[in-house]
Amino acid sequence: MALAVENGRRMFDYWLTVYKRTWKGTMISSFLLPMLYLAAMGIGLGSFVDSNGTGALGGVSYLQFIAPGLLASTALQIAVGEATYPVMSGLKWQKFYHSMIATPLRPADVVYGQLGFIAFRVFTSCAVFLVIITLFGGLKSPLGVLGLPVALLVGMAVAGPIAAYATILDNDSGFAMVFRFGVVPAFLFSGAFFPVSQLPDWIEWLAYVSPLWHAVDLSRNLSLGTVNPLLALGNLAYLLTWFLVGTWLAVRGFTKKLIG
């Protein structure tokens, strides 16, 4: 266990060193775009929604309704971005994963280091976004700050399965399906912008399958101070299951790809 932790730490140090040289390229996707969404939807569109009554939103402003959802959605998009092309690069294009396992590092250590860096990216980006949400008045309850660990959890819940998926692809064309049929529908129909109860029944149940819905639901209830402990535990259990199974699949996929 101690060896695995030490090897994972070394891998994280590698990714952190790389990020120190490339962080400027992530400013738009990680910070600027979420802020623009918050301003356009929460403040711009929100003023029209609020002027027509907020009964369908539980009596809160539209900004307070969508802010927790945007936080969780941002975490998911960052995690998917970091688990797709960078992983493909390490496996197929630059093949730096192959160099890593030529050392005492195991495929599992490579996965843990990669996931650790994704967690760092999700946490730091969402922490900045949470500060902005707070300054705009998007949190109704102090419990809303707990939306940050929820955002981290949903990011890791999808990072593992996506990294595992990357190991079975021959090229990056498969990532288009991830974004087109996974990320975009989840972003639009997981309750971030409106209650999923307003969807047709068959789509509503599909929304509940998405880990993003569970993160949005939990983050929003924390932000509004309306947490149901039993439902919150269900949300957490679902996200943790995705994370644990996804990590196992990623380790399995990396091992098969790098060692055979």
The mean pLDDT value of the chain amounts to 86
39-84 pLDDT per residue, tens: 776 666 666 665 665 555 667 788 888 889 999 999 999 999 999 9
Least confident of 48-62, 83-97, 143-157, 201-215: 48-62
Residue 67 belongs to a domain: yes
Asked whether 11 and 105 are in contact (CB, 8 A), the reply is: yes
Residue 16 domain flag: no
Position 21 in a domain: no
Least confidently predicted of 38-47, 102-111, 123-132, 151-160: 38-47
Separation CA 63–CA 76 (nearest Å): 20
pLDDT in tens, 149-178: 999 999 999 999 999 999 999 899 999 999
Sign of the dihedral defined by the CA atoms of residues 8, 82, 179, 254, in that order: negative
Q: Using CA atoms, how far apart are residues 16 and 11, in angstroms rounded to an integer?
A: 9
Host domain of residue 239 = 2-11+26-258
Closest by CA position to 136, among listed 47, 213, 225, 30: 47
Number of structural domains (the chain) is 1
Structure tokens, 12: 């994280």
Q: Does residue 18 lie in a domain region?
A: no
Q: What is the mean pLDDT of residues 246-252?
A: 97
Residue 53 is predicted with a pLDDT of 55
Which residue's structure tokens are 């079975």?
168
Residue 17, in any domain of the structure? no
For 187-201, write each residue's pLDDT tens digit. Answer: 888 888 888 888 888
